Chains A and B, each alone.
Chain A
Amino acid sequence: MNPFFSRIMALTAGDRQADRVVPPTGFTVKLTVFTSAAMAFLAVFALALSMATGRLADRWSDALARTATVRISAPEGQMQAQTDAVLNVLSTTPGVSEARVLTDEEQRALLTPWFGPDLPIDSLPLPQLIELTEDSNGYDAEGLRLRLSAEAPGAVLDDHTRWRRPLVRAAGRLRTLGWISILLIGLTTAAMITLSANAALAANAKLIRVLRLVGARDVYIARAFVRRFTGRALQGAAVGTICGMIAVALLPGEDSAGGFLTGLGFKGFGWIIPLFIPPLAGFVAFWATRAAALRVLKEIN
C-alpha cells in the first residue's frame, strides 16, 4: 500500500490513546458535522445537475446533428411534384444516407402539443416535411440548399444548427456552472473546517503547550486534531450524501413531454459517482486541519 493510503487507513482505524488526549468538545462537533452534511447534500445536487446537463448536451448534439428537415411549401397542385424533385435531389446528394417523407399522422403528432388533438389537419395548407439522416461523412448544407432552390423553389433546408447551437451551448454552460459549484462547495468545506479547527486549536492552547513540554512532536499533536476533524467531516458528508441521493431519487421521473427539467438525476453507473463525495470531504478535511494545526503549532514553543 502506498504511504498516503496507509496513513488514511491508520487515521480511520484511530488511536484510542491519542484520541483521549484531546478533550471532546460538544457543540462545535455538531456544527462541523452539520455543515459538512449540508455541503455534501448541495454537492449531490450540483453533481446531478452537471451530469444531467452533460447528458442533455450530448443528446442534443448527437440526435439533432445527425438529422435535418426539408420543408416544402407549395401550392396544392405542385406539392407532389416538388416532393418528388426533393427526394430525387436528396437521393443523389453525397452524405445523405436516408430521406423519408413524414406521413400525415407524424405531422399531426408533431402539431398536437401546439394546437390540440382536434386539429382538422386535412383542411390546413400544411407544408410537407422530409426528414433526412446524415451518414458519418456529413453533407454540404450550402450546396444542397443551392440545388434545392434550383429543383424545388418551395423547399427549405433546416439543418437544426440554429436550434442546436444555443441549446448545446446553454447545456455546456450549465454543466460548467455545476462543476464550479462543486469546486466552490469543496473550497467552502475546506474554509469551514479550517475555521473550526482553528477554534479547537485556540481552545486547546494549554493542552498543546503541555504536550510540547512532555516531548510531543508537532505531527503527533496535529494528528490528534486531524483525526477528529476528518472523522467528523466523513460522518457529516456521508449523511448529507445519502440524504441528497434519496432526494434526487425521489424527483419525478423523466417523461417525453417534460423535456430537460425532469431529466435531473443520475443514470445507471452515475449513481456511484456521488458516493465519492464523503471520501473527498474527508480528504479536504484532512489537509485543511493538518495545514491549520501545523501553522498554529509553529507559534507555540
Chain B
Amino acid sequence: MIELDKVAHSYGGGELLSDITLRLAHGSFHFLTGPSGAGKTTLLKLCYGDLMPSAGHVRLFEQDVRNMSRDEVARIRRRIGVVHQDCQFLDHLSLAENVMLPLVVAGKDPAEEEQNLADLLGWVGLAKQAHSLPPELSGGERQRAALARAVIMSPDVIIADEPTGNVDWDMSLRILQLLVELNKMGKTILIATHDLNLIRAAKAQVAARVLRIKDRRVQLAGADL
C-alpha cells in the first residue's frame, strides 16, 4: 500500500530523515515513535504525499509520488484518511459539515450519506455535537471528529499523527479502541505517538509493530517495550 525505498528528507538545512525503507502491508498496524522533533510528522507527510522525498522513492498504491499530478495526489488522499495533529478543521463549518468535507469535495451528494454520517458520529460518540462549531469542542471531541472525517471516505489506510496528544488516558483508550476496530475491519493503520503506554495497551489487542526513529533512521523496535 505504502512503500518507502531509501527515502531521505531534508528541510533546507541538514537531513532530517535518511535511508528509510519501509513497507506498510494491507491490514497491518504500525506505531511510529521517537523523541519530539525526530521527524515523525515528516515521515507521515511523506506517506500521504504532502511532502516529496529529497532522495529515494515513495510509492502510494504502486504509484511513485514524484510522477503524480496534483489531481492524482488529490485522488490518493481520498484513499488515505489522515488524523492531523492539529485536526485541520474549517472553523466556520459545523462538526457534521467538517466530517462530510471529504465527500463534498469528492463531488458526492452529502444527502445520500446522511445515514452513514449519523452512524459514524454515533460510533465516535459525537451525535449530540453534530451542529457545534469546531472551536466549541473539547480536545478529545476534536480528535474523535478528526478520526470520523478521516474514515468517512472508507479509506484503505488511516494515518494518525498523535491522535491522543492532548486528551486524558480514558479518552486515549477510546480513540485507540476505534483505531483497533478499524484495523479489524481490514484497514491499514499507522499511528505516530510518543505515548508508550498507548502502544502497550494496543499490543494487548492487535499485532502492532513499532517503528522507532533514531539517528534519522527508522528501526523496528523489539518486543521489549
Contacts and interface: CB of A to CB of B under 8 A. Distances in A.
B90 interface: yes
Nearest to A204: B90
A214 B77 contact: yes
A240 B82 CA distance: 48
B74 interface: yes
Given A17-B104, A21-B104, A220-B105, A214 B93 contact: no
B97 A20 contact: yes
Interface in A208-251: 209-218, 220
B75 A213 contact: no
A215 B104 contact: no
A209 B101 CA distance: 13
A210 B90 contact: yes
B149 interface: yes
A217 B90 contact: no
A101 interface: no
A207 B90 contact: yes
Given A17-B104, A17-B110, A21-B93, A213 B50 contact: yes
B70 interface: yes
Contact of A216 (B74, B92, B110, B149): B74
B97 A211 contact: no
B107 to A, nearest CB: 8
B153 interface: yes
A214 B105 contact: yes
Contact of A215 (B51, B77, B88, B90): B77
Nearest to A300: B70
Given A18-B104, A218-B70, A301-B50, A210 B82 contact: no
Task: Place the interface of chain B in its size category.
Answer: 20 to 34
B104 A217 contact: no
A210 B146 CA distance: 12
Task: Place the interface of chain A in its size category.
Answer: 20 to 34
A297 B70 CA distance: 10
A213 B90 contact: no
A21 B89 CA distance: 11
Given A215-B77, A215-B78, A215-B106, A210 B97 contact: no
Contacts of A125: none
Contacts of B30: none
Given A20-B97, A21-B93, A301-B50, A213 B88 contact: yes
Contact of B88 (A20, A210, A216, A220): A210
Contacts of B106: 215
A218 B75 CA distance: 11
A131 B88 CA distance: 86
B105 A213 contact: no
A285 to B, nearest CB: 23
Contacts of A116: none
A175 to B, nearest CB: 47
A217 to B, nearest CB: 4
A215 B153 contact: yes
A212 B74 contact: yes
Contacts of A218: 70-71, 74
Nearest to B155: A215
A3 interface: no
B53 interface: no
Q: Which of B75, B101, B106, B107 neighbours the largest number of chain A CB atoms within 10 Å of its CB?
A: B101
B40 interface: no
Q: Which of B51, B70, B106, B110 neighbours the largest number of chain A CB atoms within 10 Å of its CB?
A: B70
Given A213-B77, A213-B82, A218-B70, 9 more contacts: A18-B104, A21-B90, A21-B104, A23-B92, A214-B101, A214-B102, A217-B71, A218-B71, A218-B74
24 contacts: A20-B97, A21-B90, A21-B104, A23-B90, A209-B88, A210-B90, A212-B74, A212-B77, A213-B50, A213-B77, A213-B84, A213-B88, A214-B101, A214-B105, A215-B105, A215-B106, A217-B70, A217-B71, A217-B105, A218-B70, A218-B71, A220-B105, A220-B107, A297-B70
